[in-house]
Amino acid sequence: MTTLDPLTGPLSVPQPDSPVRGGAWRQFLRHRGAVAGALLLAFVVAVALAAGWLYPGDPLRIVSAPETWPFQTREFPLGTDALGRDIAALLAHGARATLLASLSASLVATLIGVAVGLAAAWYGGWIDALLMRTTELFQIVPNVVFVLTIVSILGPRLQNTVIAVALVSWPAIARLTRAECLSFKSRDFVAACRTVGLGPWRIAFGEILPNALPPVLVMGTLVIAGAILYESVVSFLGLGDPNLASWGRQIGEGRTLIRSSWYLCAEPGIAIMLVVLALNLIGDGLNDALNPLFRKR
């Protein structure tokens, strides 16, 4: 919210129900599911960061007899895969690739989506029409097919997967950002900013965008969850980087033995399920925390 000072002009001050006043954090902590999701995600991130210390060396190397079942030996508590590689090491190092790809793709998608949505809402007219038609063009293409096509063209590398996932993830953020910015563009404080002579960039980035960001942040957590699933699909089909351990790749390599050694697919599958669930719970908690209607309850 912007108020006018008779001497210095417009000043940005938090609204009474603004999340910066601390109510958002308290509301988030009251959401048990969100707290549980945050703790679970923190544990996975910690394992990913400590993977090199917990399991030094190449996780793709053969270390034991193939298809050792979980808890059969102390040395390999989660068992070994069809080639004799330690599944625990694959999961820990695979968390690095999966989280890195999903976070990078989400960041790129958010930057593109926010820029497109803000430009469309602020300028309007033919710029709005052009940007929204471009957004719709990306949305009508099936996402999985688009991702697989891009990766197939660019090659099986992690950065190519990030590019492909980001290209299919930004349209939803762009449309949400545009809708939020349009709702604030017609507010009185924006008209007051124009009256006192603030430039368009100052108004757009200093006044409108900060107010429109909370729902975009919630959407960002869902984009990360979707990016994990897309990356897993790419790796499952053998289009991921062959030099990196990945949860999707583990499932793909173990699917031929699912009847005799079902744990080969179950363990990385459970890891993906838990991380995606954690991100969705965090998204629910952020939605409650950043929504003024929920904070007033």
Tell me if 92 sits within 8 A of 48, measured CB to CB: yes
Which tokens hold the place of 212? Answer: 């429109």
For residue 4, the SS3 value is strand
The yes-or-no verdict on residue 211 having pLDDT over 60 is: yes
pLDDT at residue 1, as a whole number: 46
Kindly state whether residue 21 falls inside one of the protein's structural domains. Answer: no
pLDDT digits (tens, 9 = 90+) for 77-120: 998 888 889 999 999 999 988 898 899 999 999 999 999 998 88
Report which residue type is found at 212.
A
Shortest CA distance to 170 belongs to which of 119, 210, 205? Answer: 119
Instruction: Give the domain CATH number at 134.
Output: 1.10.3720.10
In-domain check, residue 144: yes
pLDDT tens digits along 3-61: 444 444 444 444 434 444 457 777 777 878 889 999 999 999 999 999 889 888 888 88
**pLDDT for 278:** 92
* Residues in Cβ contact with 29 at an 8 Å cutoff, skipping those fewer than 6 apart: 35
| Residue 277 lies inside a defined structural domain of this protein | no
Q: Comparing 22 with 228, which gets the higher pLDDT? A: 228
Residue 80 pairs in a beta bridge with 86
Tens digit of each residue's pLDDT (9 = 90 or more) over 19-28: 444 577 777 7
On whether residue 204 sits in a domain, the answer given is yes
Stated pTM of the model = 0.80
In a domain, 245, yes or no: yes
- 93 assigned to some structural domain: no
**Measured distance CA(3)–CA(208) in Å, rounded:** 14
| Domains in the chain, number | 1
CB 165 within 8 A of CB 108: no
Residue 45: inside a domain: no
Residue 186 domain flag? yes
What gap in Å lies between CA 102 and CA 290, rounded to an integer? 23
Q: H helices within the chain, ranges in order?
A: 23-30, 32-49, 51-54, 87-123, 125-140, 143-154, 158-185, 188-195, 200-203, 209-236, 247-254, 263-290, 292-295
Cβ neighbour number for residue 295 with a 10 Å cutoff: 17
- Nearest Cα neighbor of 219 from 106, 101, 126, 128 is 106
Owning domain of residue 266: 64-88+98-270
> Using one digit for the tens of pLDDT, what is the confidence trace for 136-175?
988 888 888 899 999 989 888 888 999 999 999 999 999 9
What is the rounded end-to-end Cα distance, in angstroms, of the chain?
Answer: 22
